[in-house]
Amino acid sequence: MSLDLFLLIIVVVTALAFDFTNGFHDTGNAMATSIASGALKPKAAVTLSACLNLLGAFLSTAVAATIAKGLVDAHLVSLELVFAGLVGGIVWNLLTWLLGIPSSSSHALIGGIVGAMIAAVGGHGVIWSGVVSKVLVPAVVATVIATLIASVGTWLVYRITRNVDEKHAEKVFQRGQIGSAALVSLAHGTNDAQKTMGVIFLALMSYGAVSTSATLPPLWVIVSCAIAMAAGTYTGGWRIIRTLGKGLVEIKPPQGMAAESAAAAVILLSSHFGYSLSTTQVATGSVLGSGVGKPGAQVRWGVAGRMVSAWLVTLPMAGGVGSGAYGLVHGIGGYPGIIVGVALLITATLAIWLRSRRARIDHHNVNAEWEGSLTGGLTDIDAHVPAPAQSPLVEQALRTAFEADPEIPQLTVITSDAPPAREVVRS
């Protein structure tokens, strides 16, 4: 096997790994509000999102062309450069996932590629006009527009339904949220899955497997990227889902539907025009807008500030990692360089995953009350009693209290869905 073919295989596998991380990193974009409002059960939500992400990946390839040709000079791209850029994107995705920060996977990937290109040939290899017009400007404009639309939409919803019984209205909007969340997932597939297609397309051009004048990636690239994105989505990025659903705003069904509808409209429009949009920033802006638009709603501006800070540093930080990875791989050179690069990526991934297990967040506790931080209040619960699926927090607290002192008579806990539980709980 030639070195170039070996490099191509490594790049394709690494690109699909990035697509997988993009899937679980961005699940919250579509499903956080539906999970938080109770419109969908957590596992049902991620399953629905995975299926629609898979479908959405086949509906558009305009963004793939932007990534492959609109940001860096395709004639200067090498396989080492593409690999290093992917390393930058993956590492930043995993770090922000660990912290529960909904940063942009798109900007992490683009930053990694641009950083590796600068390390390889200098700034002249980057199409700066494309970076500004197709990445930076759409990121700002789309986020502001999504925030405004969600804010106005939420205000109108509450204004129109002000004389409707609140419980009845919430039940109706919960049903509507299923449709709006599904639309966001479909829109996400039309935009984010295309980015990895564009990277593999770029690698195939560099290898010579496809012409630099080609306008569409091969079918196998589209299929494999769609499957990788869907698989990542199904695993559920619970840490980010928790931040978006519980940490930023306390979401009610009318807010959730308004936020999801605004996000879907903006993402679908950007996909149509081929803009490599940050779906994370659009979804976050929509959630923020739903909090601003609801009279009396509480927005946690400290959490919002941390998100914006992460957005501002995503491109340079991912670019720094991509640049460093290129310097290492190219400096060592040949097979050893690529093997060292892959080994370091696996080591970093494993270290971040092990760190996340110290305070585990999954579909059992993703909707637990927010107590000042991502994992606030979760560690103590998990240390005593594994949180059963759909178990109310009151039951968990009672279990913990009675297990702590063996001299207290054993408590019989009746689940909330059992008929006797509505009448009496006896010990």
pLDDT score at 13 = 95
Q: How many separate domains does the chain show?
A: 1
pLDDT band at 390; cut points 50, 70, 90: very low
pLDDT score at 57 = 81
Interatomic CA distance for residues 101 and 308, integer angstroms: 10
Interatomic CA distance for residues 332 and 325, integer angstroms: 11
pTM for the structure as a whole? 0.80
pLDDT band at 164; cut points 50, 70, 90: confident
pLDDT score at 408 = 47
Picking from 181, 193, 192, the residue whose alpha carbon sits closest to that of residue 46 is 181
- The mean per-residue pLDDT over the stretch 66-84 comes to 81
Q: Is the pLDDT of residue 379 over 90?
A: no
- Residue 382 inside a domain? The answer is no
What's the alpha-carbon Rg for the chain, to the nearest Å?
23
- The mean per-residue pLDDT over the stretch 232-242 comes to 88
Burial of 2 (0-12, 13-18, 19+ CB in 10 A): exposed
pLDDT score at 406 = 45
pLDDT band at 326; cut points 50, 70, 90: very high
pLDDT top residue among 197 and 388: 197
Q: Is the pLDDT of residue 30 over 80?
A: no
Sole residue written with tokens 């200098």 = 122
- Residue 406 inside a domain? The answer is no
Picking from 325, 358, 420, 268, the residue whose alpha carbon sits closest to that of residue 116 is 325
- Residue 273 inside a domain? The answer is yes
How many percent of the chain have pLDDT more than 90?
25
Q: Is the pLDDT of residue 301 over 70?
A: yes
- Quick: pLDDT tens for 34-52: 888 888 898 998 999 899 8
Domain residue limits at 251 = 3-357
Interatomic CA distance for residues 325 and 172, integer angstroms: 51
Picking from 227, 220, 226, 249, the residue whose alpha carbon sits closest to that of residue 307 is 249
- Residue 380 inside a domain? The answer is no
pLDDT score at 68 = 60
Buried b (16+ CB within 10 A) or exposed e, 18-54: bbbbbbbbbbbbbbbbbbbbebbebeebbbbbbbbbb
Query: What is the residue-averaged pLDDT of the chain?
Result: 82
- Residue 404 inside a domain? The answer is no
Tell me the residue type at 367. N
Q: Is the pLDDT of residue 358 over 90?
A: no
- Residue 400 inside a domain? The answer is no
Burial of 109 (0-12, 13-18, 19+ CB in 10 A): buried
pLDDT score at 274 = 66
* Cα-based distances in Å from 292 to 147, 148, 233, 258: 9, 9, 28, 12
Q: Is the pLDDT of residue 181 over 50?
A: yes
- Residue 399 inside a domain? The answer is no
Q: Is the pLDDT of residue 329 over 90?
A: yes
Picking from 79, 66, 91, the residue whose alpha carbon sits closest to that of residue 12 is 79
pLDDT band at 299; cut points 50, 70, 90: confident
How many percent of the chain have pLDDT more than 70?
85
3 state DSSP class of 60: coil
Interatomic CA distance for residues 170 and 160, integer angstroms: 13
pLDDT band at 120; cut points 50, 70, 90: very high
- Residue 72 inside a domain? The answer is yes
